[in-house]
Amino acid sequence: MSTAQQEVATDYVNRFRSSQSEIDRRYNNVRAAMEEHGLDALIVSGSEYSGFEGAIRYLAGFLILHRYAYVVITPDSDPVAVFPREATWVGDHSATFLKHRELPAHCGEWMADYLADKGAKKVGIYGYEYIINVRDYSALAAKDFELVDFDIPFDYARAQKSDEEIASVRHSMDINKRGVLEVMKAYEPGKTEAELMGVAENVFSAAGCARNTMDMVQIGPNGSLLPQMVFPSNRPVQASDGMMYGLEISGEGGHWVEYSRPLMPNGMDDITADMMAAQQEFHELTREHMKAGRPADEVHRICMKPFVDRGYRSGHVCGHSIGMTMIEFPRIGEGFDFILPENMVCSMHPHVMNDERTHSLYFQETYRVTPDGGEPLSGTAIVAYDGSETELVPL
């Protein structure tokens, strides 16, 4: 490798690379959760599906370009990064901060044999419900292991973000805000839904987000939004349309954020305006009550009251923990009594609609949990835009 090639490779590896103290913090927390649940081993899985690659980034520093990967953790041995052999040159494996790396032809068989040799009996799996490759799971299930769903305990172990992680979150938010603003600035009737989304995607690509974007749009007639979130089409937008470009990204540091604001060039109709008032009340309550020490379900009950009082329906949970995986536990919703720690990061995105399903209003904002309440990381107001703006409205 030439000197120039080495410089390029080194720069790639070192950008946003976690410090050793941060890596140790993560593994100490995960191993403590393993001990609490009596695990002999933990398999952490990730796949290239947008938003589901983050656990591997968190524990190995590797950004999955294609296919899938694993980290295998035992109480006393060095963790092992496991990649499929056919993906040897897919992604830069030199970016992986784990020293022990394996590239077997069949990851599941290799992990099963490795853990059997270690005498493991109770094996947790992160990604048990959604992520793990079926072929690899089948190989593990064929052995005499007690396989345990470890999705929630793993996410709880990484819910509290370090100062290094918070810096990465803020970097991602800066990018996300630029994308939203550029869509507003580019808006004019006659442009297509997809053309406007392309403006945001250009910002994200230029900022190094790579494939880590999850973009969708809500559209509605005459200053309203329909409940369904869809891919943007080549339909030309009209001045009377309501638009919500829902943009979720992670920057080079790997931490996801969610941020969006509605675009209503001709204003909102009466129902949507009432939903906007409820959204503003929701976010005021989030800033006040998303405090360290509060249970997640309690925050949910308090903050959703403006919608409940007005009789609006919720399309899905009002928020969730967010990190290197787009959607992490706990949900900010019923049944999650997890106590929010300081520096936890949550996406709050109430998706509400009327009983007739003719109107909806969706907002995305990312918050940091503090002792005094939720810090909205965008620092911008909960307002609608008309497309004439040249900057975002500050809080």
Query: Which whole number is the average pLDDT over 233-238?
Result: 97
In a domain, 389, yes or no: no
CA distances from 221 to 152, 233, 267, 278, 359 (A): 40, 15, 11, 21, 10
Domain shared by 215 and 113, yes or no: no
Domain shared by 208 and 277, yes or no: yes
Cβ–Cβ under 8 Å, residues 94 and 9: yes
Tell me which of 157, 184, 202 is where a domain ends.
157
Q: What is the pTM of this model?
A: 0.94
Which of the four pLDDT bands, split at 50, 70 and 90, describes residue 17? Answer: confident
Confidence (pLDDT) at 5: 45
- Length, in residues, of the chain: 395
Each residue of 109-146: b (16+ CB within 10 Å) or e? bbbbebbeebebeebbbbbbeebbbeebbebbeebebe
The answer on pLDDT for 1 being more than 80 is: no
The answer on pLDDT for 8 being more than 60 is: no
- 43: CATH: 3.40.350.10
Domain shared by 102 and 244, yes or no: no
Domain shared by 311 and 347, yes or no: yes
Domain shared by 281 and 174, yes or no: yes
Domain shared by 120 and 195, yes or no: no
The answer on pLDDT for 20 being more than 70 is: yes
Domain shared by 142 and 168, yes or no: no
Domain shared by 170 and 73, yes or no: no
Cβ–Cβ under 8 Å, residues 120 and 144: no
In a domain, 58, yes or no: yes
Tell me which of 157, 188, 213 is where a domain ends.
157
List the domain range (segments joined by +) for residue 83: 3-157
**Which residue in 59, 116, 51 sits closest to 82, CA to CA?**
59
Domain shared by 337 and 371, yes or no: yes
Cβ–Cβ under 8 Å, residues 243 and 222: no
In a domain, 383, yes or no: no
Confidence (pLDDT) at 317: 87
Domain shared by 133 and 223, yes or no: no
Domain shared by 78 and 173, yes or no: no
In a domain, 395, yes or no: no
- 328: CATH: 3.90.230.10
In a domain, 390, yes or no: no
Which of the four pLDDT bands, split at 50, 70 and 90, describes residue 9? Answer: very low
> Would you call 360 helix, strand, or coil by DSSP?
strand
Domain shared by 102 and 133, yes or no: yes
Cβ–Cβ under 8 Å, residues 383 and 260: no
Each residue of 56-87: b (16+ CB within 10 Å) or e? bbbbbbbbbeeebbbbbbbeeeebbbbbbeeb
In a domain, 388, yes or no: no
In a domain, 38, yes or no: yes
Total domains in the chain come to: 2
